[in-house]
Structure 1
Amino acid sequence: MPREAPYRALADVLHARVLSGEWDIGERLPSRVRIAEEYGVGRNVVQRAMDRLIAEGLLEGRAGSGTYVRTPRERLRLVRSRHHARRGGSPRSAGTSAGGHPDPRERGRADAWDADSQVRVPAPEAIAERLGIRPGDPCVTTRYEFLAEGHPVQLSESWEPMALTGGTPVVLPETGPLAGKGVPARMRSIGVVVDTVVEMPRPARATPAQANLLGISAGDLVLRTERTIYAADGRPVETADIVIPDERRAVVYEFGVERCVR
């Protein structure tokens, strides 16, 4: 069997030392030069080992200061309810019950948000495929940022085809007569009935831009959920990418059980 890469072996050793309590939470680790000398490896090996532990959330790097043992954060619950999902609420209402009120089972719920919409944005190929339109077709894209007690907890990027909403009072999700009311209510006002919401969650690594907005490190684990909302005739009317830091949120999916009458 091939020998384990040196940086991985060193990462495992440093991981064990941190868990043993050799360095307290918030304490700075020895310099990379010192660790390299201690283990007889190159500085690049130390750098890669520490980068791995930073990505895992065990350590944190502070510019111009060094590398520290990271303070563990409680992973708060984010409830994704089937009943709420079928209503297709505005992305800023994530974490609410079917009635739009805060879910009592969820702590650390987003209490502040910001949204920015742009019109006539050409659909990238992947978005066009999800919306059933041609690449380059004009869309309205809205980017959301959510805060809980001043800390960033979620990002969302929503896309809607302008062929559907262009020229109507609801072309912008967060302005107009139905601002913030959610996709179903807005679509209903223009004669489109929403029928189905499909969510596909998958683990991913934070991009530099996402990391900057969420206050985490590039490469940290995130949960990326691809959500698409469909009309009753099968047309996709909106698609969104929802990004949640893995270390801060435990996402819980809630589904009802269909009842059979015999």
Structure 2
Amino acid sequence: MPRDTAYLQIADALRERIRAGEWTAGARLPSRARFAEEYAVGQSVAQRAMELLIIEGFLEGRAGSGTYVRGPRRRMRIPRSRLRRLSGPGGRDNGGGTWQSRSKARTPAPERIAARLAIAPGDPCVVTSYAFLSQGRPVETCESWEPMAVTDRTPVVLPENGPLKGAGVIERMRAIGVTVVSATEIPRPARADQARADLLGISVGDLITEIERTHYAADGRPVETADIMVADRRAEVAYEITFGP
């Protein structure tokens, strides 16, 4: 079968075999080498089919152990749009859960953050760590950085304290005379290393969505940048595109 569609056909076949009860929830599947031989394809094709079923929630990969049947999952949806994206660290309209946050002022900007904020490495920032929990489980984390050159000695220096706590970047910056006009988001698929797995309460190697976000003022200055992580097994990210004035 053609290589570009073979993995889809194998995924369809394995999905039906799981639904038919050939392997029940918790059962360990044969190796990708076994499936490659059975379906007369390369191991990379078999692996791609199994990864698709992991994304769909039928399978679960366990580092150093193998691939297991998990059964279909129900994931929450995290909307990202012009309004929802900017209303909080990761879009606070994804209801049914709670946010936890912790801020630390005068934190030296590491080189990668300094480059995104157009400041010098080591310049003081306020860094705020957020975690969104649904049913007591971490779904999304966000690490947000703001240069203190913008907010120092103002009532909004700490995002989750003061008169505009939790109001979001746009409203807080507007209160001190800074007009935020745009934001960029760069989503990337990734697999959790140990540190990310610990933050999200998932397994090493599990799929995650990473989003690099930066807010810009009218004069072109970056005024906030953040690294957002979403546990793929628990939520999907949906971008809403609107048209018109």
Matches within 5 A, 1:205-220: 205-220=191-206
* Pairing 1:258–2:223 present: no
| Paired amino acid for 1:209 | A
Instruction: Give the Cα separation in 1 of the matches to 2:113 and 2:21.
Output: 47
What's the counterpart of residue 90 of structure 1? 88
* Pairing 1:240–2:226 present: yes
Aligned-pair RMSD on alpha carbons?
3.3
What's the counterpart of residue 74 of structure 1? 74
> CA offsets, 1:194-251, max 9 Å, x none?
1111111111122212211222111211111111111111111000111111232222
Instruction: Give the Cα separation in 2 of the matches to 1:178 and 1:137.
Output: 24
Indicate how the Cα distance of structure 1 residues 205 and 89 shifts in structure 2: closer, same or farther if over 3 A, else same: same
Instruction: Give the Cα separation in 2 of the matches to 1:244 and 1:232.
Output: 29
| Paired amino acid for 1:232 | A
Instruction: Give the Cα separation in 2 of the matches to 1:207 and 1:163.
Output: 33
Indicate how the Cα distance of structure 1 residues 69 and 187 shifts in structure 2: closer, same or farther if over 3 A, else same: same
* Pairing 1:132–2:130 present: no
Q: CA deviation at 1:22?
A: 3.1
Q: CA deviation at 1:122?
A: 1.3
Number of residue-to-residue matches in the alignment: 216
Unpaired stretches in structure 1, ≥5 consecutive residues: 1-11, 33-48, 97-105
Indicate how the Cα distance of structure 1 residues 110 and 130 shifts in structure 2: closer, same or farther if over 3 A, else same: farther
Secondary structure (helix, strand or coil) at the match of 1:130 reads: helix
Secondary structure (helix, strand or coil) at the match of 1:84 reads: coil
What's the counterpart of residue 162 of structure 2? 176
Conserved in 2, the CA contact under 8 Å of 1:144 and 1:155? yes
Secondary structure (helix, strand or coil) at the match of 2:84 reads: helix
Q: CA deviation at 1:95?
A: 4.5
What's the counterpart of residue 46 of structure 1? none
Conserved in 2, the CA contact under 8 Å of 1:82 and 1:253? no
Conserved in 1, the CA contact under 8 Å of 2:108 and 2:124? yes
Conserved in 2, the CA contact under 8 Å of 1:83 and 1:255? no
Indicate how the Cα distance of structure 1 residues 193 and 67 shifts in structure 2: closer, same or farther if over 3 A, else same: closer
TM-score (norm 1): 0.70
Instruction: Give the Cα separation in 2 of the matches to 1:66 and 1:256.
Output: 43
Conserved in 2, the CA contact under 8 Å of 1:110 and 1:153? no
Unpaired stretches in structure 2, ≥5 consecutive residues: 1-9, 32-46
Instruction: Give the Cα separation in 2 of the matches to 1:205 and 1:250.
Output: 15
Secondary structure (helix, strand or coil) at the match of 1:83 reads: coil
What's the counterpart of residue 213 of structure 2? 227
- Give the structure with higher Rg (CA): 1
Conserved in 1, the CA contact under 8 Å of 2:189 and 2:207? yes
Indicate how the Cα distance of structure 1 residues 118 and 95 shifts in structure 2: closer, same or farther if over 3 A, else same: closer
| Paired amino acid for 1:240 | A
| Greater CA drift, 154-163 or 144-153 | 144-153
Matches within 5 A, 1:1-262: 16=14, 19=18, 21-27=21-27, 29=28, 58-59=59-60, 61=62, 68-85=68-85, 88-91=86-89, 94-96=91-93, 109-258=95-244
Instruction: Give the Cα separation in 1 of the matches to 2:220 and 2:66.
Output: 54
Indicate how the Cα distance of structure 1 residues 253 and 204 shifts in structure 2: closer, same or farther if over 3 A, else same: same
